[in-house]
Amino acid sequence: MKKPGRRRARFDVEKKRLLEQIESEREKSQELLNRLKYLQADFENYQKRVEKETQEIVLRSNERLIVNLLNIVDDLERAIETGKRIKKVEPLLEGVEMVYRTLNSTLEREGLVGIEAVGKPFDPNVHEFLAKVPKRECEEGIVVEETRRGFMFKGKVVRSSIVKISCKENEVKNNE
């Protein structure tokens, strides 16, 4: 027969070993939790930093565009002053056309592109319908006139072209 003191001693040894193991696991768990909290704080700081940097990039991009547009404003002011002093319209018109070309090239460098409309099939994604124009010499549904030019900015339509499209001559009469 086994002595109860030996069982008790083995039980106490096993209990002590298990309690030490539990404490060791608790310490590991606490350490992992602390590391997780630091990682979470680092990630939140990273998100804030990226957001701030993104806003700064947008701000700098807008600033660059504004500086380019200010040069065009200067050119327009000079054209207005010249127009007040001269009698001939041609030099003023040439100056305004030059400013217009400069403005267009600045906007194109920024990613703005005009939508080609006249002679193309009507596309509701880039065109707004204004009216039908009876035409014999062209296919039905072709843009024959653009009343307002449309634009795309970096692949996205920012302003649709307002257009008139061709139709059969009797179609306009039937709709009246």
CATH at residue 147? 2.30.22.10
Determine the Cα–Cα distance for residues 30 and 33; give it in Å rounded to an integer: 5
Instruction: Please give the pLDDT value at position 24.
Output: 96
Residue among 158, 160, 151, 162 at smallest CA distance from 103: 151
Q: Are residues 59 and 126 in the same domain?
A: no
Q: Are residues 26 and 104 in the same domain?
A: yes
Instruction: Please give the pLDDT value at position 173.
Output: 53
| pLDDT at position 176 over 80 | no
The pTM score is 0.59
Q: Are residues 106 and 128 in the same domain?
A: no
Q: Are residues 44 and 101 in the same domain?
A: yes
Last residue of a domain, one of 110, 128, 144: 110
132: left (phi over 0), alpha (psi -120 to 50) or beta: beta
Q: Are residues 91 and 13 in the same domain?
A: yes
The mean predicted confidence, pLDDT, of the chain is 88
Q: Are residues 106 and 123 in the same domain?
A: no
Q: Which whole-number Å values give the CA distances from 157 to 58, 82, 117, 160, in the listed order?
A: 20, 37, 13, 7
Q: Are residues 136 and 155 in the same domain?
A: yes
CATH at residue 69? 3.90.20
Q: Are residues 99 and 160 in the same domain?
A: no
Q: How many domains does the chain have?
A: 2
Last residue of a domain, one of 59, 83, 110: 110
CA atoms in the 13 A half-sphere facing the CB of 125 = 5
| pLDDT at position 115 over 60 | yes
| pLDDT at position 174 over 80 | no
Q: Are residues 66 and 8 in the same domain?
A: yes
Cβ-proximal residues to 150 (8 Å cutoff; 6+ apart), any chain? 114, 115, 117, 126, 127, 157, 159, 160, 161, 162
| Average pLDDT, integer, range 4-11 | 82
What pLDDT, in 10s, does the model give residues 72-104?
A: 888 888 888 888 888 888 888 888 888 889 988
Q: Are residues 144 and 103 in the same domain?
A: no
Last residue of a domain, one of 81, 110, 139: 110
pLDDT band at residue 172 under the 50/70/90 scheme: low
| Average pLDDT, integer, range 126-141 | 88
Other Cβ atoms closer than 10 A to 46? 10
Range of the domain at 145: 111-176
Determine the Cα–Cα distance for residues 32 and 22; give it in Å rounded to an integer: 15
Instruction: Please give the pLDDT value at position 68.
Output: 80
Q: The tokens of 9 are what? A: 């001693």
Instruction: Please give the pLDDT value at position 5.
Output: 75
| pLDDT at position 16 over 80 | yes
Cβ-proximal residues to 160 (8 Å cutoff; 6+ apart), any chain? 115, 126, 127, 128, 150
Q: Are residues 121 and 92 in the same domain?
A: no
Q: Are residues 28 and 79 in the same domain?
A: yes
